[in-house]
Structure 1
Amino acid sequence: MTTTSEIAGILFDKDGTLLDFDASWAPVNRKVALIAAAGDAALAENLLRACGMDPVTGRLVPDSLLAAGNTREIAEGLIAAGAQHDLDALVPLIDDLFAGAAELSVPVTELAPLFARLRERGLRLGIASSDNERSIRVAVRRFGIDDYVDFVAGYDSGHGSKPGPGMVLGFCAETGLKPHQVAVVGDNNHDLHMGRNAGAGLKVAVLSGTGSRQSLEEACDVLLNDITELEAVLN
């Protein structure tokens, strides 16, 4: 693990890390399942279960498809569970839903002041998500952090998908940093394993998303309740 004094950049996951996962995504996941089920409510519940969401409570299984998968992986899981859709038709439907959902998403905390303070420290900042890039940019604009974000990567941005190292390496290429100078912050093991696979200097897990203490603590260097505690770690 790199000492915090060596960290020069932070690459954040989006959902469950910057955004409140349940408030932002539970209604969207239900809508995705209902569309994939062509309006069949019973099938939609089965699709949710198959992809990792309890249709009654809305709780997600850590590292399940709806917790950590990208759009294409989710679509493949829905079809495997019984959705009667062509994959290439279902993927853009889900991407469109996710992009629209970004306009209604709920942040974990006020993001603009936090990002401004991190930038004042001289840190380079990026966002790497399994969502599509369009959705990430909508959120960046909505929450007023455009001026602070140096790098954005979704599953469709050409850097590969999590837990592969590509998004971290893309952030490094954009900012001139080395992987050991980067802290990766995320709420599930796809994020943390991405950091490990890229050689990131610090892997920070947050409990504000889909991961549990048990599922995260073995893969992280630091475990926080949420990103509001990040500055204390950097101090």
Structure 2
Amino acid sequence: MSRADGILFDKDGTLFDFHATWSVWAHGVISDLSAGDADVMARMADEAHYDLVARRFHPTSPIIAGTNREAAECLGRALPGRAIEEIEEHLMMSSGSAPLAPAVPLAPYLEGLAARGLRLGVMTNDTEYGARAHLGAAGVLGHFDFIAGFDSGYGAKPAPGPLLAFARAMALEPARVVMVGDSTHDLVAGRAAGMQCVGVLTGTATCSDLEPLADIVLPDIGHIPAWLTA
């Protein structure tokens, strides 16, 4: 017997490996927005807690779990005179072509979960546009019953509102839903919503970061099916 009727996934760091996708993308964004000016790039990297040499976010980066708007505000501190709305638009549009690195082969994985009768959703602090673009590029957009971004009208994590919106839309009891994520934002939201919480290590957080908030911490989402019936 399965311990859940629905699974709500975070996107970045959960469905897609964070560094292989977003650390690579960020270098291009910093280069574009700075027009290649080395001093401006350095200031942007400092604000974003991003290592330009390693091309990798530090775990302390405010961009990792933040919304698209918060990321724009973060980078905007190094770009005086640039409108935050302009930066936000650039991030949204460029994110649609980020080099996606799925944590596992997603199509067969999601088909297997659906075959168990599970309702599937995605809730990300990215834009809904970005979420749909990425899931479409990965060929799995149609595998989800619910897709929401921070701008979809339900709020953003760590607030529980968007998670509860999934439960309502699917007519599920929150206690029978699993929230899966790679950050404390995901798990704080899951706990506040009264859901089961699974942490995964395909983002920037460590096991010790996630364990206090999770029912279990797994290497990646591929281990969830076995846990559901354990």
TM-score normalized with structure 2 length? 0.92
Q: What corresponds to 1:42 in structure 2? A: 39
Q: Work out the CA distance in 2 between the residues paired with 1:51 and 1:22.
A: 14
Q: Check if 1:206 corresponds to 2:200.
A: yes
From 168, 188, 194, the counterpart of 2:183: 188
From 158, 165, 173, the counterpart of 1:178: 173
Task: Map 1:129-168; keep pairs closer than 5 Å.
Answer: 129-168=124-163
From 6, 20, 29, the counterpart of 1:23: 20
2:197 alignment partner AA: K
1:183 deviation in Å? 0.4
1:82 deviation in Å? 4.5
2:59 alignment partner AA: P
Q: Check if 1:117 corresponds to 2:112.
A: yes
Asked if 1 retains the 8 angstrom alpha-carbon contact of 2:3 and 2:228, the reply is: no
1:90 alignment partner AA: I
Asked if 1 retains the 8 angstrom alpha-carbon contact of 2:100 and 2:138, the reply is: no
1:21 alignment partner AA: F
In 2 relative to 1, CA 112–63 (structure 1 residues): closer, same or farther, beyond 3 Å? farther
Asked if 1 retains the 8 angstrom alpha-carbon contact of 2:63 and 2:74, the reply is: no
Q: What corresponds to 1:230 in structure 2? A: 224
Q: Work out the CA distance in 1 between the residues paired with 2:19 and 2:145.
A: 27
Q: What corresponds to 1:107 in structure 2? A: 102
1:85 deviation in Å? 1.3
1:224 alignment partner AA: L
Q: Work out the CA distance in 2 between the residues paired with 1:84 and 1:44.
A: 16
Length, aligned pairs only: 229
Q: What is the DSSP-based 3-state SS (H/G/I as helix, E as strand, rest coil) of the residue aligned with 1:65?
A: coil
Q: What corresponds to 2:210 in structure 1? A: 216
- Cα-to-partner distance string for 1:8-42 (whole Å, 9 max, x where unaligned): 10000111111121111122111222333343223
Q: What corresponds to 2:4 in structure 1? A: 7
In 2 relative to 1, CA 109–126 (structure 1 residues): closer, same or farther, beyond 3 Å? same
Q: What is the DSSP-based 3-state SS (H/G/I as helix, E as strand, rest coil) of the residue aligned with 2:7?
A: strand
Q: What is the DSSP-based 3-state SS (H/G/I as helix, E as strand, rest coil) of the residue aligned with 1:205?
A: strand
Structure 1 unaligned regions, length at least 5: none
Q: Percent identity?
A: 39
Asked if 2 retains the 8 angstrom alpha-carbon contact of 1:125 and 1:151, the reply is: yes
In 2 relative to 1, CA 214–49 (structure 1 residues): closer, same or farther, beyond 3 Å? farther
C-alpha RMSD over aligned residues = 1.7
From 43, 55, 60, the counterpart of 2:57: 60
Q: Work out the CA distance in 2 between the residues paired with 1:117 and 1:106.
A: 20
Asked if 1 retains the 8 angstrom alpha-carbon contact of 2:24 and 2:56, the reply is: no
| Further displaced range: 80-89 or 167-176 | 80-89
Q: What corresponds to 1:126 in structure 2? A: 121
Q: Work out the CA distance in 1 between the residues paired with 2:214 and 2:60.
A: 15
In 2 relative to 1, CA 163–208 (structure 1 residues): closer, same or farther, beyond 3 Å? same
Q: Check if 1:169 corresponds to 2:182.
A: no
In 2 relative to 1, CA 84–55 (structure 1 residues): closer, same or farther, beyond 3 Å? farther
| Further displaced range: 136-145 or 160-169 | 136-145
- Cα-to-partner distance string for 1:44-90 (whole Å, 9 max, x where unaligned): 13312322222222333336322111110011111234554111221
Structure 2 unaligned regions, length at least 5: none
